[in-house]
Amino acid sequence: MRFSDLSIYLQKLEKTASRNEITQILAELFKKSTVEEIDKICYLVLGQLAPNYRSIVFNLAERMMLQVIAKAYGRDIEKVKEIYKKVGDLGNISQKLSRSYEGSVFSVTEVYNHLLEMAQDEGQGSQERKIEKMADLLSKLNPLSSRFVSRIPVGKLRLGFSDKTIIDALSWMETGNKSKSGVLEKAYQVIPDVGLLAQKVRKSGIDQAVKNMKPEVGVPILPMLAQRIKSTKEMIEKMGLVFVEPKFDGLRVLIHFKRGGQDDFVKAFTRNLNDIREMFPELTDIGKYIDAKSVILDSEAVGMDPEMLKLADFQTTMRRRRKYDIAQKAKDIPLRFQVFDIILKDDKNLMDIAYSKRREILADTIKPNNLLVIDEKILTDDPAVINKEYRERIAQNLEGVIVKKADAYYVPGRTGWRWVKMKEEESASGKLTDTIDCVVMGFTVGKGKRAVFGLGQFLVGVKDGDKFKTLTKVGTGLSDEEFKKFRKQMEEYKVKDKPKEYEAEKIYTPDFWIDAKFVVELAGDDLTKSPTHASGFGLRFPRLVGFRNDKAPEQATTLKELQKLFQMQKM
C-alpha cells in the first residue's frame, strides 16, 4: 500500500467522531493491507512504531520538529515558530508548507522503516542526524502525508482511538460485526501487541490466530485487577471459598525471569506495560531465590522506611522509578516484592489453573528470602473472618485486604467476581469507599497566589470506551512546590483544541487542554449525580491523593466502575 493511500484513511479517521464509523474505516483499511504491512499500519494509526512495551521513542521535542519543518521546506525557523504559535499543530504547518507531490511513490513499509531507523538512532550526534533524516523524509512526502508523519515523532497523531478499537476492527474485517472482539481481546491481554495479532488474523483468520496464545517471558501480560464489593457477606455469596490477603500500598510489578548461561534474563513490567527493570538492581540475582528455569510472578513492590523500620507509602516507593542515582535510591528506599501469584513456570502456562493450585506452585517455586516474599493468606468462607482480617491489616497501616476466589483462573483485566479489594469502610469515615483514578484533561491558570504557579485547578475525567468524560475539577492536595512541578510537566502536553476523545460541557472548558498523559488518584466525600459533567457524576470535596505514574490513561477508572461505586455508597 502507498503511504499516500494510508494518509487518505488517516484523514477520514481524523474527521470521524463515531466509534462505529472509525471501526468500519479501520476494517476496510485492514482488508486492503497485506500480511507483511498490516502490523506496521496498526502501529502507525496509533502514532507508534511498536507495541507499548517495546518503548521505541524518537526523543524529538516539538522545538526540534519545528527545526525539521523549517529545514524540510526551506523556511526561516523564526517564521515557522510564528506560524506554530498561531496554528498550534505541527501537522497543519507541514501540510501548509509542503509543496512536494512525490509522496505517492513511498510505500507504507518504506515510510515506517525510515521512521524506525530514525527512532533507533542513538549516540553522539544522533539528534542532528534525526533532524536531517526527518527533514529529508518530509520534503519527499505529499502535503497530506506530511500532515500525519510530522505528528508521530512527538506522539501527537491524536486520531481518538486505542488498541481496543483496532481489536473491534479486526473482528469487523472478518465477520462484519464485533462478535469476535471478545476472543481477540483475550488473546491481546496475554500478548499485548495489536500489530502481531493483526498479522496473525490477516494470515490465517481469527480462530486460528487466537489458538495457543500463552504468556511468554519478556512479553508483559495485562495484569488481573480487583473489583469492588461493599459487603463481606456479598463477597462470600458471589465467590464462595476465598483467600484473604493483605493489600499493600505499593507498585504493581510483574517479574519475568529466565535462567541463562552467564547472565539470567530478568524484566520487570508495570501494569501499563513499561519495563522498569533498570530501576530495581535488587532483581539482578533473584535466580538464587527461584527454583525454576523460568517464571512470571505477579507482585507488589513495597518500599521500606529504614529509619522508621516500617513500610513506606506509595509516593515514597514511586521515588524508586527515577532514572538517575538508582544505586543511591536503592540504599535510601530498599524494596521487597510481595509476591502473590505465578502465571508461568518452566514455560508452562498456569493461567487456566485454579488460584489455590497456583499458590501451591508458588510456594514450591520461591525459596525463603527477604526480597521475594510470598503474601500471607487465610482461607475462609466466613464474612466475619474477612472483617476481622481487614481490621487487623488497617491497624498495621496497610490499605486493607484483597479477597480472591479460591478456584479462580488468572484472567487479565477487571472482569467477574474473582478478586475483590476491601479498603476504607464507609461506615467508619463517612467517605467514599474507594479512591478514583482519573485522567487529567486540562487546567486553569489560577488566581492570586495560584496565578504565580500558572495552575489553579485541573479538570479530570474517567474512561468510557475510547472516550474520557469529565468528573470534577481539583485544586487541593498539592503543596506549592508540587503545583509548580506538575504545571511544568503539563506544559509539554498542551494542545490548542480539545482532543477528540474528550467529552466536556462548555462550562468546564479549561484555559488549556492537554493530551491524556497523567493519571491522578482522587478521594472525595461522595459521588453525586451531575447534569453538567459528561460522566453524569460529580465528586464532592475532591482531594488529590497522589500521582499514579504506574498507570496509563487506558487504566483509569471506568464509567462502569464509577456507577458501581455510586450504587455501593447507597447500600
Residues tagged active-site? 247
> Do 90 and 72 contact (CB within 8 A), yes or no?
no
- Run of H or E including 134: helix 126-139
Other beta carbons within 10 angstroms of residue 142's beta carbon come to 21
Other beta carbons within 10 angstroms of residue 115's beta carbon come to 23
How far is it, in rounded angstroms, from Cα 98 to Cα 432? 54
CA distances (Å), origin 395, targets 236, 251, 306, 379: 23, 21, 20, 21
How far is it, in rounded angstroms, from Cα 79 to Cα 25? 37
Cell of 400: 486493607
Quick one: residue 328, left, alpha or beta (phi over 0 = left, psi -120 to 50 = alpha)? Answer: alpha
Instruction: State the DSSP code for 275.
Output: B
CA distances (Å), origin 293, targets 217, 219, 284, 354, 471: 11, 17, 15, 22, 47
Other beta carbons within 10 angstroms of residue 468's beta carbon come to 26
Q: Is 542 helix (H, G, I), strand (E, B) or coil?
A: coil
- Run of H or E including 265: strand 265-269
Question: Where would I find the beta strands (DSSP E) of 406-450?
Answer: 419-422, 436-443
Q: State the alpha helices, DSSP H only, in 341-448.
A: 355-365, 383-395, 426-429
